[in-house]
Structure 1
Amino acid sequence: MPAKEDDNKWSSHYNLLKGILNKNESIYSFFNDDEKLTLRENVIAHALTKDNRNILREIGQSEGGFESLKLRKDCWYELLLNQLDLARNFSNQNFENAKPHPDENQVHLDVLRSFGFVEDHKQKEKLRSLLEKIIVNILRKYPTLRYYQGYHDIVAVFIIVFMVHPYQKSVCEADEEYDIELTRQVSEKFKYSTHRSGISIASSVIDPITNETMLFRSVEIFTLIYLRDFMMDSLTFPILQTKIIPAIVKRYDKQLYMTLKLDKMQPFFAIPSLLTLFSHQFKPTELSNGFIYQVFDLIISSQSMFISIIMYMHLILMSKDSLLQEYALNAGNFENDIDLLHGVMQQQMIKNITNEKFWSIVLIRTQSSIKKPLKLKNARKMVDEYSVLRTTASGSNHRYNIKYVQNVLAKEIKASKKLDSYSKHKTKGCLKSPLLNIAWQSYSKNNILFKVSILIIAVSFIYKTQDLTQIGDSLSLQHNFHSISKEFSSLMTNNINYSLLKKVYNFFTFSSIDFAPELTDVTLDLK
């Protein structure tokens, strides 16, 4: 087909797709779902061929995102390569002989609990092996980064997207006939090469070695552009990010903001969702367009880490009626308003975790917020100047070079240590409770008796909740736990020490000992 005729055909396809994305009734109702998907795939394929990243960003930020796994991988790869130039820093992703990173033991423990949804044991072990290899290589290549528990959930999403074809039969439960047809379709669509990597995209779909190279580069870029704030020695930067949530809730619903007293508390309940970009709650599945994939579509397409913050804000607003009702009903069951709100928010998260319609609306409203941006000038001032929210993932769609990012990373590490040092000094002077003094000294010196005591508390809580599940709701269960740990809650509420908080958070949220996996989410409200 002549180039001009091909461009005209693509232009007409794009205009039709734009009408569908904008819900133009005359166009939207004319096509069935399969035709809409085909149209979207054709436009994406052409945009990839022509390096038209503006079109890719537009589609990625629209309802449905990139829609299918077989195209999502190429879209993420193209967009991420344009966000960070690794040309001067690219090397083989094998760092077996490099100096081990101090966090590798924790990585191994977390990997052992990954990909639980994969039924085939051999394939599950292959995926876990790849997950550990990718994370360890990233940490060894950038040794100043610190691993955090939840990072493995994010990398697992990338592995499913990029390695779906080598492991398709077990991960996606696809039969052989479907796999062959899918490979044929993709090979016909992508007969081009990327000038940056020099590898054939068509062959990369069925070549696990090439896929692994693309996977490593994508995770590397995503880590440096989006996740630096979370890979410091403490949770200082993530906690600063959570402060933005009440600020934007206030802009949308001041009454809710005042009723829940969001001006007087640290929204620790949001930390797990922000740290994992919701991938801890929503695991990658065999569905080509599962919720978590669309979240990543939106983040990468907008080049903004404000996405998860805005999503959480919409989660609060959509849960308004339930929040106010539960808040009123359980006001007498908690030691303070902070424990109460943390418990109520966690209950809402658990309650709606399987409600696809609810989360679909949250995502659509977040996408709308991108089209009509919030005035986040003051919000940006709430985080450090070297945070990703003010540099590489601020929503600017800018391309950075590796030298700039490494320089910002070094400054961010210094800023984090300075803030953490200040918080330690402030906390040390405020430990008036003898119990808190003993606890702090024990934990700071890695006292094994103290850690065993914490373990006993956790086991007791799980045992207690198992006995009480038939006679109490999740809020009362959380109240039992809060009664046990109210001294820690008081410390974190009034005088926060971020290093201690990170240790407690890591232990209770992603404990490497799965006493009761089904209760994992119940304990998240401790943060």
Structure 2
Amino acid sequence: MKRLKRKKQNAGVGATENGCVTKESDNGKKQKLAQIHQALISDPVDIETLRNAAASKGGLLTDEVRRKVWPKLLNINVYELPHKPGRDVRKNHKDYNQVVLDVRRSMKRFPKGMPPSERAVLQEQLIDIILDVLKRNPQLYYYQGYHDVAVSLLLVVGERMAIAMLDTLSNYHLRDFMDPTMDSTKHILNYLMPILEQVDRELHDFMTRAEVGTIFALSWLITWFGHVLSDFKHTLRLYDFFLSSHPLMPIYLAATIVLHREKEVKQSECDMAMVHHLLSRIPQDLPYELLISRAQDLFDRFPPSLLAKRAALQSHKSISISTFQMFQLSTLDQRPDSVLQRLTKTPGSTASGQGLDAVLSRDGGRLWGEGNRMVKMAVWGLSATLGAAVFAVAQTAMEWGPEVLLQLF
């Protein structure tokens, strides 16, 4: 009897002993859904409420809501989506072979139990989505990990909307990762240590002595954690947060994860290989809501402008940072979908995502949670502190993709 009572006590707020949500939790979700609906039908759309909903506890709650809110967060007209790419998009494209290799290696990013034939269809769509966006934006350069972002979008919103969203993200939030060199990506990673220094000087100094650098967080940053989380629901929760936030928010979340593991790090041997090995394996049971809240708090306390001044980071021109304010302003004057439909020449057109819904209809539109497990990664020579651990770093890079190894030297 005592054990039963203890289990009931440990069920947690918002849950009963059989795992069902409480009336209070259910009412909270209903209230949030009502607020989101009201924000969507407001004219203009209440973007600030949508951002708050995406960032606050629970995020956007369902994929159905995400299909409505994500486009608004990126200022996308759902009735003027790009056409599906033709097969000619692959013809003579310089990145075709690399994209195909990466997509073929992405099997674990698709729902567990999905029939191979359906996964193959989505993988072909993924290749076309990536190449179509790159063809539309010749100034952008493909990077390994880009497909992880693309597949996360495809699995929620479908092919045409994924193209529109990826196009916008590539020109704003992900823009620094799509330069011809890794300099801008290195610049974003360089914000990590100053954040740690502001919060936990002892931890910062320990990692500095270990010469671990920031390579362990690279895959987190450039894939928005999509590559390293095994449960897709956690990936979606983070995408809600990042889509509603500043482009640097992923690095703030990375800092929050390191701070959360502070005791583990300090108790490890002060050695580059040991600390890198520890940090590169991200735990799968992290308290995501708590970490998201802390990341937002860190961003408010230590904004990028403050860190840039303190850490001499302002010398590099970040396109993602410099264009973010303009991007945010551009989202504030959107019409609700009901109005957009009346204003569109083809009012009978429908929003993207139906094809995917049909593919996943057996699961009621939900996506399974089994994604890929953490692939230990340290790519491209972004740190001058590889030291004696270069072999370990190179070995982990081989697991990401053989092509990446060449970037280490």
Return the TM-score normalized by structure 1.
Answer: 0.55
1:21-79 CA distance string (max 9 Å, x none): xx9xxxxx994333222222122112111111111011112111111110012111011
Q: 1:245 to 1:378 in 2, by over 3 A?
A: same
Shift of 1:276: 0.9
Distance 1:489 1:132, change over 3 A: closer
Cα distance in 2 for residues equivalent to 1:490 and 1:301: 28
Change (3 A) 1:246 1:396: farther
Aligned match for 2:71, one of 73, 77, 80: 77
2:160 counterpart residue number: 213
Residue 9 (structure 2) aligns with: none
- Cα deviation for residue 151 of structure 1 reads 0.7
Larger radius of gyration: 1
Matching residue of 2:357:
none
Which of 342, 346, 357 is the matching residue for 2:280? 346
Residues 146-225 of structure 1: matches in 2 within 5 Å? 146-163=141-158, 212-225=159-172
Residue in 2 that maps onto 1:20: none
Paired residues of 2:193 and 2:204 also in contact (CA < 8 A):
yes
Structure richer in helix, relative to its length: 1
Offset from partner CA, 1:140-172 (integer Å, 9 cap, x none):
111232211111111111011113xxxxxxxxx
The equivalent position to 2:321 in structure 1, one of 370, 382, 390, is: 390
Work out whether residues 110 and 512 of structure 1, in 8 Å CA contact, stay in contact via their aligned partners in 2: no
The answer to whether 1:365 aligns with 2:287 is no
2: distance between equivalents of 1:505 and 1:306? 28
Superposition TM-score, scaled by structure 2 size: 0.70
**Map of 1:319-330 to 2, 5 A cutoff?**
319-327=261-269
Choose which of 499, 510, 519 in structure 1 pairs with 2:400: 510
Q: Which residue of 2 aligns with 1:318?
A: 260
In structure 2, the partner of 1:97 is 88
The 8 Å contact of residues 307 and 366 in structure 1, kept in 2 or not, is answered as yes
Question: Which residue type is aligned with residue 114 of structure 1?
Answer: S
2:337 alignment partner in structure 1: none
Q: Is the 8 A contact 2:82 2:163 kept in 1?
A: no
Residues 169-214 of structure 1 show CA distances to partners (whole Å, capped at 9, x for unaligned) of xxxxxxxxxxxxxxxxxxxxxxxxxxxxxxxxxxxxxxxxxxx332
**What is the aligned partner in structure 2 of residue 48 from structure 1?**
40
Q: For residues 344-389 of structure 1, give each alpha carbon's deviation from its aligned partner in whole angstroms, at most 9, with x where no partner exists.
A: 3224x2xx1x2143x443223123335x342432434516654144
Match for residue 55 of structure 2 among 61, 81, 84: 61
Q: Is residue 2:174 matched to residue 1:231?
A: no
Q: Percent identity?
A: 21
Cα separation, partners in 2 of 1:379 and 1:356, compared to 1, 3 Å: closer
* Unaligned residue ranges in structure 2 (runs of 5+): 1-13, 15-20, 332-375, 388-392
**Alignment-mate amino acid for residue 147 of structure 2:** H
Report the equivalent of 2:102: 110
Give the distance between the partners of 1:228 and 1:260, measured in 2 at CA. 29
What is the alpha-carbon root mean square deviation over aligned residues?
Answer: 3.8
- What is the SS of the residue equivalent to 1:250? helix
Alpha-carbon distance change, 49 to 158 in structure 1, aligned in 2, over 3 angstroms: same
| Structure 1 residue 262: Cα displacement | 6.3
Which of these residues, 352, 355, 359, is aligned with residue 285 of structure 2? 355
Q: Report how far residue 294 of structure 1 moved.
A: 1.7
Task: Determine helix, strand or coil for the equivalent of 1:282.
Answer: coil
Q: What code does the residue aligned with 2:157 have? A: F
Distance 1:103 1:505, change over 3 A: farther
- How far is 1:107 from its partner? 0.4
Gaps of 5+ in 1: 1-22, 24-28, 164-211, 332-336, 401-477, 483-487, 496-502, 514-522
SS of the equivalent of 1:238 reads helix
Q: 1:118 to 1:31 in 2, by over 3 A?
A: closer
Higher relative contact order (CA 8 A, sep 6+): 2
2:236 is matched by which residue type in structure 1? Y
Alignment of 1:116-127 (within 5 A): 116=108, 117-119=111-113, 120-127=115-122
Answer whether contact 1:274 1:308 (CA < 8 A) is retained: yes
Native 8 Å contact 2:215 2:383 kept in 1:
no
User: Does the CA-based 8 Å contact 1:47-1:55 persist in structure 2?
Assistant: yes
**Any idea what SS the aligned residue of 2:74 has?**
helix
Q: Is the 8 A contact 1:118 1:124 kept in 2?
A: no
Distance of 1:143 and 1:269 partners within structure 2:
30
